[in-house]
């Protein structure tokens, strides 16, 4: 490596000196480009910066016409410079004018130059500008020269990010870095959140860019890499990941990457060029992120993001702990932005400061989303690029109603949303006031409005929402957020906590409903299934693994000592499954009474109606149980052969259509005939219009997300039920197979001033 006169080290040293000197930003840029040109023996060096209006503006040049500075402009994607910015990839050409993308800007006088090397100015994967060197002769720039220019570009990216260049922009023009961006994702949990970005993996700010001694720095890098590898080996040998599974596969991939020669070589190269080890990691990570943003293949994206995680770990190693003292910088209105995160990690944030959640990944049924929903956090998922585009502290709006994220929103958007939030707050206040009112229709028919729950964090909602009890406690959630199977004591503790919080209100515990889309990473028995929704899940799984069911039943029986215990079995297909489950329950009861345990005062056993086969055994079913609960999510999915997680067909068939409503009515009538209580606990119960339909066909007990109780009760209080029942009877009569029930319901609501 050349050490005197030229070479990247010398260049970086000169840059450092220039950045330390007090001077006007334009002068600093002019000197930087001059220095680069000299150092790289190029006749031209130019810097283009990306503006918020997607124009690349020439900010400084050595060699081109100086009058073109701040005048020469290229659109993103236009010309060589525009292509580099758009693709975030360098271009190295010995005859630039022959390149199909070449665009001639007469004001610059660049026609005289043939060879061209341009690199994107990147920060955290985002393109902020383009740095170019050019030569008159046709030459090919070496790989190390390209690396050197990229290193310099990184230093310039920091200058842009620290706002150094803001003074050079003309009034009314903004740099891309501060551009407002609207990102579209999928609505995962309703609500609107206004606040400021908190990056879940805080971008570690590398302040020390230049190394004093490359050899010493290489040693530091090497040490950090070694301890990184050791820590991965260590994690791999831990007991809880020692078996095969998803965790292990991820860690194995990390181990492979940590030893990846290409990655390590690029890190070392950047250090040799004069960067500190941490700045080198940041540089290589930024290149990776840029590539990731342009990558559509999900497998490759996944691999790239493993590298990204690894780079973060390495940065922490190098900068020591404390580099991300989260709690201190946590704003009062935090909106957490993450690629993905574990459910437990979300609960580590102080709830009172959280206003929303934005995920690049995630599915509506992923654990993190279930928890976010449980704590009522507006959530948008599948927002590609959210992490790269955000900086800690940026203003941000999350609209969980329509899946929008507005980053650094403009004034008018902010005003519109502030109004939306006020409107929603007024509505909430209204619902709150309704809590004290009895849940009965306008014509005096009482209706039981219950809530769904699954974690201890849900419990305060019982009082807040005014629910009459818990109609569905999804016990599997405790299993899903845990790292290993919850022990019997932990299960008992949670169930007792629930019953204490319910304070005499009824609670229906559903035995664990795992399998299907609810996977437990630590559960060894599960195998890959072609059709998991139709597979080994819920009661099928627990009857095959009776130990699991027994443990849970024991925990429930103990927790409910001295109170009523209501138990419900998910995904029942044959009445005989109830008999088998009852045998296990009876055995546990006998066992506990033998040891003189305090038993529940009464035990009621129910079944969920989710599998269509039960519809032809309704009579026997109603006699075999104390109550039934319709799981409309699964029942609808199986009746209409429509995968409930598939967004493409989510709206295709209407649960408020004639066939499904007739079927639901049949269930309600079967219950009435033999006096077996019937309730419904799928998502259908939570929307005022569908709740209204359910009441109209005979349901008097429904269970929903706590946030839905208010809107449903507002509907209920204005509902003349008898009139509705007549109307529904007519609409569902034989001649009505094509009737648009939704339209009928909307018209009925309008006629009677019912808020939907």
Residue placing its CB nearer to ligand PEP in the complex, 180 or 633: 633
56 binds, among Mg ion, ligand PEP, none (CB under 5 to 8 A by kind): none
Residue placing its CB nearer to ligand PEP in the complex, 63 or 469: 469
Residue placing its CB nearer to Mg ion in the complex, 285 or 701: 701
Residue with the two structure tokens 């007792």: 496
Residue 634 CB, nearest approach to Mg ion (Å) = 4
Q: Measured at CB, which residue is nearest to Mg ion? A: 634
38 binds, among ligand PEP, Mg ion, none (CB under 5 to 8 A by kind): none
Catalytic residue (one of 200, 247, 406, 681) = 681
**Is the CB of residue 397 less than 8 Å from the CB of residue 383?**
no
Instruction: Tell whether residue 150 is a contact of Mg ion (CB under 5 A).
Output: no
Residue 482 CB, nearest approach to Mg ion (Å) = 20
668 binds, among ligand PEP, Mg ion, none (CB under 5 to 8 A by kind): none
Residue placing its CB nearer to ligand PEP in the complex, 317 or 511: 511
**Total binding residues toward Mg ion, as defined by CB under 5 A:** 3
Residues 6+ apart with CB under 8 A from 325: none
Q: In what order do the strands lie in the sheet with 379-381?
A: 181-184, 404-407, 395-399, 192-199, 334-338, 354-359, 379-381, 186-189
Residue placing its CB nearer to ligand PEP in the complex, 278 or 634: 634
Residue placing its CB nearer to ligand PEP in the complex, 150 or 513: 513
CA–CA separation, 46 and 61 (whole Å):
4
Of 334-342, 434-442, 631-639, 669-677, the segment contacting Mg ion by CB under 5 A is 631-639
Residue 222 CB, nearest approach to Mg ion (Å) = 53
Residue placing its CB nearer to Mg ion in the complex, 282 or 634: 634
Of 200-208, 387-395, 623-631, 717-725, the segment contacting Mg ion by CB under 5 A is 623-631
Beta-ladder partners of 608: 629
The DSSP secondary-structure symbol of 139 reads: -
Residue placing its CB nearer to ligand PEP in the complex, 80 or 450: 450
Residue 527 CB, nearest approach to ligand PEP (Å) = 21
Dihedral, 469, 473, 478, 481 alpha carbons, nearest 10:
-100
Residue placing its CB nearer to ligand PEP in the complex, 472 or 585: 472
Of 8-16, 113-121, 229-237, 630-638, the segment contacting Mg ion by CB under 5 A is 630-638
Residue 513 CB, nearest approach to ligand PEP (Å) = 6
682 binds, among ligand PEP, Mg ion, none (CB under 5 to 8 A by kind): ligand PEP
Q: Determine whether 367 is an active site residue.
A: yes
The stretches of 259-377 forming alpha helices (DSSP H) are 261-272, 277-293, 298-319, 326-329, 343-347, 367-374
Residue 484 CB, nearest approach to ligand PEP (Å) = 22
Residue 631 CB, nearest approach to ligand PEP (Å) = 3
**Is the CB of residue 42 less than 8 Å from the CB of residue 135?**
yes
681 binds, among Mg ion, ligand PEP, none (CB under 5 to 8 A by kind): ligand PEP
Per CB under 5 A, the list member of 63, 634, 744, 748 interacting with Mg ion is 634
Residue 656 CB, nearest approach to Mg ion (Å) = 19
Q: Kindly write down the DSSP assignment for every residue of 252-287, as one continuous string.
A: HHHHHHHT-HHHHHHHHHHHHTTB-HHHHHHHHHHH
Residue placing its CB nearer to ligand PEP in the complex, 176 or 634: 634
632 binds, among Mg ion, ligand PEP, none (CB under 5 to 8 A by kind): ligand PEP
Catalytic residue (one of 200, 247, 367, 406) = 367
**Alpha-carbon Rg of the chain, whole angstroms?**
32
CA–CA separation, 181 and 386 (whole Å):
10
Residues 468-487 that bind Mg ion (CB under 5 A): none
Residue placing its CB nearer to ligand PEP in the complex, 276 or 465: 465
Q: Determine whether 681 is an active site residue.
A: yes
**Is the CB of residue 361 less than 8 Å from the CB of residue 382?**
yes
Strands (E), 343-422: 354-359, 379-381, 395-399, 404-407
**Is the CB of residue 176 less than 8 Å from the CB of residue 128?**
yes
Residue 510 CB, nearest approach to ligand PEP (Å) = 8
Residues 582-621 that bind Mg ion (CB under 5 A): 610
CA–CA separation, 259 and 599 (whole Å):
58
Residue placing its CB nearer to ligand PEP in the complex, 453 or 692: 453
3-state helix, strand, coil in the chain (%, to 5): 50, 15, 35
The DSSP secondary-structure symbol of 315 reads: H
Residue placing its CB nearer to ligand PEP in the complex, 145 or 610: 610
Q: Which of 631, 619, 600 is nearest to 510 (CA)?
A: 631
Residue 700 CB, nearest approach to ligand PEP (Å) = 18
CA–CA separation, 85 and 244 (whole Å):
43
CA–CA separation, 40 and 6 (whole Å):
7
**Is the CB of residue 567 less than 8 Å from the CB of residue 509?**
yes
**Is the CB of residue 570 less than 8 Å from the CB of residue 538?**
yes
Per CB under 5 A, the list member of 631, 686, 696, 710 interacting with Mg ion is 631
125 binds, among ligand PEP, Mg ion, none (CB under 5 to 8 A by kind): none
364 binds, among ligand PEP, Mg ion, none (CB under 5 to 8 A by kind): none
7 binds, among Mg ion, ligand PEP, none (CB under 5 to 8 A by kind): none
Dihedral, 287, 293, 297, 300 alpha carbons, nearest 10:
30
**Is the CB of residue 65 less than 8 Å from the CB of residue 108?**
yes
282 binds, among Mg ion, ligand PEP, none (CB under 5 to 8 A by kind): none
Residue 555 CB, nearest approach to ligand PEP (Å) = 20
CA–CA separation, 607 and 570 (whole Å):
6
Q: How crowded is the C-beta side of 364, counted as CA atoms within 13 Å?
A: 14
- What residue ranges bind ligand PEP (CB under 6 A)? 472, 474, 513, 610, 631-634, 681-682
Residue 474 CB, nearest approach to ligand PEP (Å) = 5
* End-to-end Cα, the chain, rounded Å: 74
Residue 328 corresponds to which tokens in the numbers above? Answer: 């201190």
**Is the CB of residue 88 less than 8 Å from the CB of residue 131?**
no
Residue 514 CB, nearest approach to Mg ion (Å) = 11
Residues 6+ apart with CB under 8 A from 622: 628, 670, 671, 673, 674, 676
Q: Which long-range contacts (CB under 8 A, 24 or more apart) does 578-582 make?
A: 578/605, 578/607, 578/621, 578/624, 578/625, 579/624, 580/543, 581/511, 581/539, 581/542, 581/543, 581/549, 581/605
Q: Give the catalytic positions in this structure.
A: 367, 681
> What residues make contact with Mg ion under the rule CB under 5 A?
610, 631, 634
């Amino acid at each position: 490596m050349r050490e005197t006169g030229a070479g990247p080290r010398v260049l970086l040293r000169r840059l450092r000196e220039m950045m330390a000197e007090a001077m006007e930003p334009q002068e600093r840029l002019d000197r930087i480009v001059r220095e680069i040109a000299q150092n790289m023996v190029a006749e031209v060096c130019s810097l283009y910066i990306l503006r918020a209006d997607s124009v690349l503006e020439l900010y400084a040049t050595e060699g081109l016409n100086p009058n073109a500075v701040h005048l020469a402009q290229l659109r993103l994607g236009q010309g060589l410079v525009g292509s580099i910015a758009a693709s975030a990839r360098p271009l190295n050409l010995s005859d630039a004018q022959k390149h199909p993308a070449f665009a001639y800007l007469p004001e610059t006088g660049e026609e005289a130059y043939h060879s061209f090397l341009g690199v994107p100015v990147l920060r955290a994967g985002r393109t902020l500008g383009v740095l170019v060197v050019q030569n008159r002769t046709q030459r090919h720039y070496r790989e190390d020269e390209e690396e050197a220019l990229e290193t310099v570009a990184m230093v310039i990216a920091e200058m842009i990010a620290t706002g150094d260049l803001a003074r050079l922009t003309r009034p009314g023009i903004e740099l891309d870095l501060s551009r407002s961006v609207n990102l579209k994702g999928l609505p995962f949990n309703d609500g609107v959140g206004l606040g400021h970005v908190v990056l879940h993996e805080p971008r570690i700010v590398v302040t020390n860019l230049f190394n004093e001694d490359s050899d010493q720095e290489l040693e530091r890098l090497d040490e950090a890499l070694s301890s990184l590898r050791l820590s991965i080996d260590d994690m791999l040998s831990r007991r809880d990941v020692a078996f095969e599974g998803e965790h292990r596969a991820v860690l194995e991939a990390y181990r492979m990457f940590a030893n990846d020669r290409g990655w390590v070589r690029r890190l070392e190269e950047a250090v040799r060029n004069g960067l500190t080890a941490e700045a080198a990691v940041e540089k290589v990570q930024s290149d990776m992120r840029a590539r990731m943003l342009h990558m559509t293949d999900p497998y490759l994206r996944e691999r790239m993001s493993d590298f990204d995680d690894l780079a973060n770990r390495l940065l922490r190693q190098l900068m020591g702990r404390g580099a991300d003292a989260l709690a201190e910088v946590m704003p009062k209105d935090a909106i957490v932005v993450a690629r993905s995160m574990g459910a437990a990690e979300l609960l580590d944030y102080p709830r009172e400061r959280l206003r929303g959640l934005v995920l690049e990944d995630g599915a509506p049924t992923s654990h993190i989303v279930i928890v976010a929903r449980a704590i009522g956090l507006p959530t948008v998922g599948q927002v590609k690029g959210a992490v790269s585009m955000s900086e800690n502290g940026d203003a941000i709006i999350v609209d969980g109603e329509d899946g929008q994220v507005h980053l650094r929103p403009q004034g008018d958007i902010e005003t519109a949303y502030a109004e939306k939030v006020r409107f929603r707050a007024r509505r909430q206040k209204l619902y709150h006031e309704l809590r004290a009112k009895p849940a009965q229709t306008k014509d005096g028919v009482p209706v039981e409005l219950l809530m769904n729950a699954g974690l201890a964090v849900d419990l305060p909602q019982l009082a807040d929402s005014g629910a009459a009890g818990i109609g569905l406690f999804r016990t599997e959630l405790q299993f899903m957020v845990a790292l290993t199977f919850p022990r019997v004591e932990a299960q008992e503790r949670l169930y007792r906590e629930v019953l204490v919080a319910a304070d005499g209100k009824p609670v229906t515990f559903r035995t664990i409903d795992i399998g299907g889309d609810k996977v437990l990473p630590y559960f060894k028995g599960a195998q890959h299934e072609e059709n998991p929704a139709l597979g080994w899940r819920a009661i099928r799984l627990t009857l095959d693994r009776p130990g699991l069911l027994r443990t849970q039943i024991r925990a429930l029986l103990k927790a409910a000592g001295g109170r009523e215990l209501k138990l419900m079995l998910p995904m029942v297909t044959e009445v005989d499954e109830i008999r088998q489950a009852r045998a296990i329950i009876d055995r546990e009861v006998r066992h506990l009474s033998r040891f003189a345990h305090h038993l529940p005062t009464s035990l009621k056993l129910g079944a969920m109606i989710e599998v269509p086969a039960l519809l032809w055994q309704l009579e026997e079913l109603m006699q075999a149980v104390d109550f039934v609960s319709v799981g409309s999510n699964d029942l609808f999915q199986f009746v209409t052969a429509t995968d409930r997680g598939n967004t493409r067909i989510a709206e295709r068939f209407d649960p408020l259509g004639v066939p499904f409503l007739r079927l639901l009515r049949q269930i309600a009538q079967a219950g009435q005939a033999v006096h077996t209580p019937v309730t419904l606990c799928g998502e259908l119960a939570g929307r005022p219009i569908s709740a209204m339909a359910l009441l109209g066909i005979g349901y008097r007990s429904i269970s929903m997300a706590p946030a839905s109780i208010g809107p449903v009760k507002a509907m209920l209080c204005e509902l003349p039920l008898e009139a509705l029942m007549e109307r529904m009877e007519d609409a569902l009569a034989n001649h009505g197979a094509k009737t648009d029930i939704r339209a009928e319901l909307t018209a009925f609501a309008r006629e009677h001033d019912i808020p939907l």
